[in-house]
Structure formats: C-alpha cells, structure tokens
DNA sequence: CCATCAAGCTGAGGCTACCTCAGGATAATT
DNA sequence: AATTATCCTGAGGTAGCCTCAGCTTGATGG
C-alpha cells in the first residue's frame, strides 16, 4: 500500500550536488540551534537556494533530518562493531550507550524522530535505526552472555532506557547535562550485582 | 524584569464561565488526540467560540495547557500527602511515581512542558510543578531515611528518571505502554539491595 | 424596571511557515 | 551545436498564530 520512504540521494549534476551540500550544511546548523522543527524556508535561504530547490532534494522534513544525521549514526553502528571485538562486554555496552545518547540528542526533537523510526518502516530513518537496533542488541546479548547484565532485559527495553537518557539530555539544552548521571543510574540498575 | 506568568482564572460573568469551561473541555480533548500543539483555532471552533474569545481567557498556549492540567496535578500533590502518611515509605514513593508518570504523559508534549516549567519561573505551570517537586522530594527523603533508596539520589535526578518514563509512555501513544517496565527497571536500580 | 458600564465576544486581517507547480535555465551527453 | 534530462525559481494557495477595533451583554445600583 504505502511505497517505500524517500531517501535523499546526492545528485549527479554538479550544480545539484553543490546545492544539496549547502542545504545539508544549513540544515545541520539550523537543527542544532532551533531543533528539528526549524524553518525550512530559513534553511533554504541560508543555503542561498530557493525553497523549491530544498523540496526537490528533500521532499519531506523527515528526509532532510535523515540525511543530516546519516553520517553520525553510521559511525555509531561502525563503532559498535569495533567495540564488540573488545575484551569486556559490559564496558563495550556502556561505552556504546554513552555514545548513542550523544548522537540521539544531537538536536532538540531528534530522539522522538529516531524512536518513532525504530519501529515504523514508513520512515526515512528506519533503515539506519534498525541497523542501530541490531548493533545495540548484539552488545546487550554479549554482556548478558557474560553474566554482566540482568538476563531478562530485552533490547527494546534497553532502547527505552537509552532514549530516556537522550531525551533528558535534549531538554537540558542550555543547562548542564544530566544525562551522564541518568545513564549511570540506569546502568548500575541493570547490571548484575556481585559485590 | 519579566512580570509574573499569566494564570487563567474562571471568569465571574455567566457567559464568560460558560465559554471558559467549553474551551477547556475542547482543549483537553484536542490535546489528547493531537498533542500539546493542537490547533487553537480548532479548539475555539470546537468549543463554539470565536478565536478572540479563546485568547481572551488564555492569552498563551502555555496558560491553556496549565489550566487543562491543573486539576490532575493538584490531585497528584494531594495524593502524595496521603501516601506520605502510610506505613511503607518505599511503597509510597513507587506508587506515587507510577501515578506521576501517568499524569505527566496525559498527552504528547506535556512532559517537556512540565519539566521545563519545573525550573523556569516564568511559566504558568511553574507553581504547580514546584509543588510537585516538593511532594516528590518529601517522599524520596522519607524512603532514603528508611534506608530503602540509595542515599546519593537527589530529587532532581528522581524527576529526570520519572520524566524519562513519562516521555517513553508519551511516545508509545498507539502501541502498548512500556513505561511500567521502564519504571520497574529504574526503581529496582535505585533501591538498596539487601537480599 | 431601567440605565450604566465593565466584562466579554466577534472575526477580519496581518504575519509566518508549509508545500506545489508551471515555466525557465543549464549541465551532461552525443 | 543540438538535445534533453536534470535542476532551479518564486509566486501563490493553505493553514495556523495572534491582535485589535468595534459591538454585545450580564451584573449592579437606583
């Protein structure tokens, strides 16, 4: 019924690529200062481009957000695989969660978009989110297999906790960041106790 | 510098009260189905009232949200005082947190508004949020005094955890609610272990 | 019952942002 | 140089926000 979500692609023509890049740069800046609902017309004019051009490359706001966050999330997935090769599965998991929280809260409104994308296939960010889900689940299972994390914790629950931390971080835009402590409390809560 | 935030008041004239009530009812319904950014013009027309009338009673969106959630939060504070008189401080705290999560996530966008209000005095909801903060802090301190909750947990951190749970609940609008499990994990994490 | 008037109501209108589309421009290709 | 698919533009329709000048009406005192 519903076609696949549109995923923005860097155009082949030189002028197209130039504008595509300029829009993406302007969008990243605008999202960081004004959140995910920044004005698209501002972004276009900041990129020195007409509004129609923005819509040509990014027909929906979601497709623009996806393109603006793609690289960061790709790195996150790659880092998960590197961490999985390390010696301590719990360290790997905690380190990854710390990093994930930062990427999830790059700008106000992103956590909500990503958590919605995680289970909604009709969304541009879904593919990337699903990849992250797998990465996180792998790290979790390894930590559980090593007996370091309570075995009844599901990946979905882990992402709930992670999203909560990221959301808290998002809110504290102009204050100090309380997400490290949030994550610490959560992690101490889900690890197995053996002292 | 900045004057006190405007707090909506039920008017004295009969026609004013009628409209005030109708707007509040329409607003509650609209917020629940469309979130905190529901169209004010829709709310007005749903209440059978011109847009100017809505703005007369509720000059800002925040003042309307405050009025729409006032009762629920008042009850929450009252319930905290009742619970504080109970025998088990930990039970009281967990029960109250469960209830708070529900009230905080009455509609999409509310948690964000309330957590911002909690520390921002220029906000209509601030007074009510500060009262809740006291209620929660009291219950927390009692549970800590009884040695049931880790003593290094601050009220602010408690509210971060609580808000995280409420936010997760908010997101899962049309799915099953994962906040009870979230809260369970958090609570098991912050209680002292003595088994 | 009436006069008075503060309180309340209305909706047009200016503003901003979203998004579309018909017509024009241009990079790539042959 | 000609062709053409790709790309660009910006006016314009739609929707929501919010204000304000002018009108209406409930409450009050006589």
Span A72-85, pLDDT tens digits: 999 999 999 999 99
Contact call for residues B101 and B162 (beta carbons, < 8 A): yes
Instruction: Read off the tokens for A26.
Output: 């302007």
> Rounded distance, CA A151 to CA B143, Å?
28
Structure-block tokens of residue B137: 């802090």
> Residue A58 in contact with residue A92, Cβ under 8 Å?
no
Give the separation between CA A161 and CA A187, rounded to whole angstroms: 9
Q: Which residues, listed in sequence order, are joined to residue B191 by a DSSP beta bridge?
A: B149
Ordered by start, the domain boundaries in chain A are 14-59, 62-190
From the CA of A105 to the C1' of C14: give the distance in Å. 37
Q: B185 and A181 in contact by Cβ < 8 A?
A: no
What is the predicted pLDDT for the residue at A135? Answer: 98
Check residue B194 and give its pLDDT. 65
Minimal C-alpha gap between A182 and chain B (Å) = 7
Cα A43 from Cα A68, distance rounded (Å): 12
Q: Which of B170, B179, B162 is nearest to B32 (CA)?
A: B170
Q: How far is Cα A75 from Cα A79, in angstroms, rounded to an integer? A: 6
Could you tell me how many CB contacts below 8 A there are between chain A and chain B? Answer: 66
Please state, in angstroms and rounded to a whole number, the distance separating the CA atoms of residues B48 and B39. 14
Nucleotide nearest to A18 (CA to C1'): D7
CATH architecture of B14-59: Orthogonal Bundle (1.10)
Question: Which pLDDT tens digit goes with each residue over A145-161?
Answer: 999 999 999 999 999 99
Q: Report residue B74 as tokens.
A: 């008042």
Phi/psi-derived region of residue A7, left when phi > 0, alpha when psi is between -120 and 50, beta in every other case? beta
CA of B11 to C1' of C1 (A): 27
**For residue A1, pLDDT beyond 60:** no
pLDDT at A2: 64
Residue at shortest CA–C1' distance from D16 = B39
A192 touches chain B (CB under 8 A): no
Q: What tokens were used for B28? A: 């509650």
pLDDT in tens, A171-181: 987 678 999 99
CA of A64 to C1' of D5 (A): 24
- Whether A43 contacts A27, CB under 8 Å: yes
Reply yes or no on whether the pLDDT at A195 is more than 70: no
Confidence at residue A3, expressed as pLDDT on a 0 to 100 scale: 75
Tell me the average pLDDT across A109-117. 97
Q: A62-190, what's its fold?
A: Tetracycline Repressor; domain 2 (1.10.357)
d(CA A194, CA A94) in angstroms, rounded, equals 18
Q: What is the Cβ-side half-sphere exposure of residue B24, based on CA atoms within 13 angstroms? A: 18
CB contact, 8 Å: B191 with chain A? no
The rounded mean pLDDT for chain A is: 96
Structure tokens at B143: 């549970």
How confident is the prediction along chain B (195 residues), in pLDDT tens digits per residue?
567 899 999 999 999 999 999 999 999 999 999 999 999 999 999 999 999 999 999 999 999 999 999 999 999 999 999 999 999 999 999 999 999 999 999 999 999 999 999 999 999 999 999 999 999 999 999 999 999 999 999 999 999 999 999 999 999 876 789 999 999 999 999 999 765
């Amino acid at each position: 019924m519903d076609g696949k979500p549109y995923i923005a692609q860097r155009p082949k023509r030189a002028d197209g690529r130039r504008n595509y890049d300029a829009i993406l740069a302007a969008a990243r800046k605008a999202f960081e200062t004004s959140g995910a609902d920044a004005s698209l017309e501002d972004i276009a004019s900041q990129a020195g481009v007409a509004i129609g051009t923005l819509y040509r490359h990014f027909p929906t706001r979601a497709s623009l957000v996806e393109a603006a966050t793609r690289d960061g999330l790709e790195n996150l997935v790659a880092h998960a695989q590197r961490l999985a090769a390390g010696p301590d599965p719990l360290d790997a998991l905690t380190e990854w969660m710390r990093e994930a929280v930062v990427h999830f809260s790059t700008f106000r409104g992103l956590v909500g978009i990503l958590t919605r994308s995680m289970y909604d296939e009709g969304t541009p960010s879904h593919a990337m989110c699903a990849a992250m889900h797998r990465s996180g689940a792998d790290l979790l299972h390894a930590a559980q297999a090593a007996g370091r994390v309570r075995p009844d914790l599901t990946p979905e629950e882990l992402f709930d906790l992670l999203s909560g931390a990221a959301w808290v971080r998002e809110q504290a835009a102009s204050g100090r960041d309380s997400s490290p402590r949030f994550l610490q409390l959560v992690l101490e809560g889900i690890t197995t106790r053996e002292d």
